[in-house]
Amino acid sequence: MRLVLTSDTHLPKRARDLPAELWAAVDEADVVVHAGDWVDEAALDALAARAATLIACYGNNDGPGLRARLPEIAYATLDGLRLAVVHETGPSQGREQRCAARFPDVDLLVFGHSHIPWDTTAANGLRLLNPGSPTDRRRQPYCTYMTATVTGGHLKDVELHRLPPRR
């Protein structure tokens, strides 16, 4: 099962559209995971129309329309892998311990908010991934998104993709 992980798209404030490379990855994926801060419902509509399966939550910059359509925390089981998606996890210091306590029955937590890519594993085995942002790099050298695969309940082939600078 092929996954695309993204967050903090901030459309149309940070970009008019998602980068072509990310759209191509979405078209090839079995599941697309979005960890919030869509900003505009049209972005949700566009991604939902192209994703085979979309698992998503709302973020702190998402207004009432998006909050009515998306949960604060999304849960799914993908080929035996227990997944949660949330926008904010708090400060980076102590994140693994906090999230392991908050999500004890989850194998993978995808989160956003910081626009900073993150890939760690808590002591209890919880994998934490932040794909960064494909449209707003903030203090990072590149805009980013992630891909991964799920096989038999195991997450594999996690890859951070750096996007070329926008013109």
Neighbours of 91 (CB within 10 A): 8
DSSP code, position 116: -
What is the β-pairing status of strands 143-151 and 2-6? antiparallel
Residue 10 has what pLDDT? 94
Virtual torsion, Cα 121, 123, 125, 128, nearest 10 deg? -30
pLDDT band at 143, cuts 50/70/90?
Answer: very high
Please give the pLDDT value at position 165: 77
Domains of the chain and any CATH numbers: 2-163 (3.60.21.10)
Number of H helices, E strands in the chain: 4, 10
pLDDT for residue 53 is more than 80: yes
Q: Contact 146/4 with Cβ under 8 angstroms?
A: yes
pLDDT surpassing 70 at residue 167: no
Q: Is the pLDDT of residue 66 over 90?
A: yes
Provide the 10 A C-beta neighbour count for residue 134: 28
pTM summary value = 0.96
Share of the chain above pLDDT 90, in %: 93
Give per-residue pLDDT as tens, 17-43: 999 999 999 999 999 999 999 999 999
C-alpha atoms less than 13 angstroms from C-alpha of 130 in its C-beta half-sphere:
24
Decide if 111 contacts 86 (C-beta within 8 A): yes
Residues 6+ apart with CB under 8 A from 123: 96, 97, 100
Q: Which two tokens stand for residue 38?
A: 């869509």
Confidence check: pLDDT of 166 > 80: no
Least confident segment among 72-76, 105-109, 133-137, 161-165: 161-165
Compute the distance between CA of residue 11 and CA of residue 39 in angstroms, rounded to an integer. 6
Whether residue 106 has pLDDT greater than 80: yes
